Amino acid sequence: MINCCKVPFETIYLHHGWGSTCCPNWYDAYDKRTDYTQEPQDVWRGAVIESHRREVASGDYSLCQRCPLVADEGMKAPIRGDWEHGPKYVHIADSMTCNLHCWSCRAGRCLSDPLADSESAERFLRRFLEHYRTTIEEVTLLNSGEVFASQRHVRLLNEFDWGTIGIGIITNATLIERKWATVQKIHGSIQRFIVSLDASNEETYSKVRLGGSWDAAVRGMELIRDLGRPLVLHYVISDKNVRDIARFADWAQRWAPERVELIPLARTYARDDWADRDVFRSGHSLNHILQTELATATTIPGVRLLS
């Protein structure tokens, strides 16, 4: 039996109106998706997603050339025999609601996402989780916004019967100190935290985490560290924080992360000044600084570039 990337056979990302087996930012095209307003099983076994699985199983990774995991042999394994029964890992990415409006993620503020936060979206999500309860090992939220800024997702955390399902929390850390007491039910279910900070100091933070409070983020990090759960730190690289990469990699060690992931800025929407921000572009005036910073940062154990 050949080894292939296991992600499409274990994982589903639930977006607003469609699903994907992987993070769509790494796709060369957005055509591998399904409409998830159908029955839950029609998402996991949707025709387009099934086509992607067949490609991967045959060794065809043509859709995946931007994925940082495509060359990682550790992500490859024989296809598990029971994958048809449902996903092991669910990533919820169905709302843009966030208290920040960072350049790396969106063009403007989205303090609420009325369509994504509708009752129908909430009903579907609960139905999907209930339908695949016996196969799901972990649910991660919120890939597309801030979980503690979304009333719908806080309500899901509090009201859904999680049982043995583990929970992963993706957060910008600015609201968790205030909101932690409101989600007491799931304290014991949280398996890991993934935090994107993008800065090691207040000056840089104010340039990249628009609408955020450095002091609140640090207090949130202190709470997360004291909880002692596995932690991954993200650092999305742009022209605004490229000079802070090595300093961040060193500063991050105070939070005892499992790993620190340095992430190139993904083009998630159209911007006229995109080329000015993308320091990974060979002709960018700050590319030489990027290379120096990365060379220093990646000497620290657990720090790696996702590219």
The label of the residue with tokens 């995991």 reads 69
pLDDT at 58 (0 to 100): 92
Q: Are the C-beta atoms of residues 144 and 152 closer than 8 Å to each other?
A: no
Task: Please state, in angstroms and rounded to a whole number, the distance separating the CA atoms of residues 53 and 19.
Answer: 14
pLDDT of residue 2: 75
Between 17 and 292, name the one with better pLDDT: 292
Query: What pLDDT score was predicted for residue 47?
Result: 83
Mark out the alpha helices in the chain (DSSP H runs): 7-10, 40-44, 47-57, 119-131, 151-159, 176-179, 202-208, 214-227, 245-251, 274-277, 287-297
pLDDT band at 233 (very low <50, low <70, confident <90, very high): very high
What does the pLDDT read at residue 240? 95
Amino acid 28: pLDDT: 57
Q: What is the mean pLDDT of residues 241-258?
A: 98
Task: Please tell me which residue, 47 or 280, carries the higher pLDDT value.
Answer: 280
Q: Is the confidence at residue 263, as pLDDT, over 80?
A: yes
Q: What is the value of pTM for the model shown? A: 0.91
In this structure, are strands 11-15 and 89-93 parallel, antiparallel, or unpaired? parallel
N residues, the chain: 307
From CA 299, how far away is CA 12, in angstroms rounded?
A: 33
Predicted local confidence at residue 116, as pLDDT: 55
C-alpha span between 56 and 200 (Å, rounded): 38
290 backbone dihedrals φ, ψ, rounded to 5° = -55, -50
Kindly report, residue by residue over 267-295, the tens digit of the pLDDT.
Answer: 655 566 777 889 999 999 999 999 999 99
- In the predicted model, is pLDDT for residue 105 greater than 90? no
Question: 1 falls in which pLDDT band (50, 70, 90)?
Answer: low
- The Cα–Cα gap between 108 and 116 comes to 17
Q: Which residue shows structure tokens 């590319």?
A: 287
Q: Which domains, and CATH codes, for the chain?
A: 1-87 (no CATH), 95-305 (3.20.20.70)
**pLDDT-based confidence at residue 115 (cuts at 50, 70, 90):** low
pLDDT surpasses 70 at 35: no
Task: Write a three-state SS string for 209-255.
Answer: CCCCCHHHHHHHHHHHHHHCCCEEEEEEECCCCHHHHHHHHHHHHHH
Token pair in block for residue 281: 């572009």
Given this model, what pLDDT does residue 102 score?
78
Cα distances (Å, whole numbers) of residue 9 to 15, 36, 50, 165, 182: 18, 17, 10, 18, 34
Is the pLDDT higher at 174 or at 70? 174
Looking at residue 132, its pLDDT comes to 97
Residue 234 scores a pLDDT above 70: yes
What is the pLDDT averaged over residues 6-21? 87
**What is the structure's pLDDT at 70?**
79
| Cα dihedral 40, 41, 47, 52 in deg (nearest 10) | 90
User: For 144-203, how does the pLDDT look when each residue is reduced to its tens digit (9 = 90+)?
Assistant: 789 999 988 999 999 999 999 999 999 999 999 999 999 999 999 999 999 999 999 999
Q: Evaluate whether 97 touches 116 at the Cβ level (below 8 Å).
A: yes
Looking at per-residue pLDDT, the higher value among 74 and 177 belongs to: 177
Mean pLDDT of the chain: 88
Instruction: Please give the average per-residue pLDDT across 210-218, as a whole number.
Output: 96
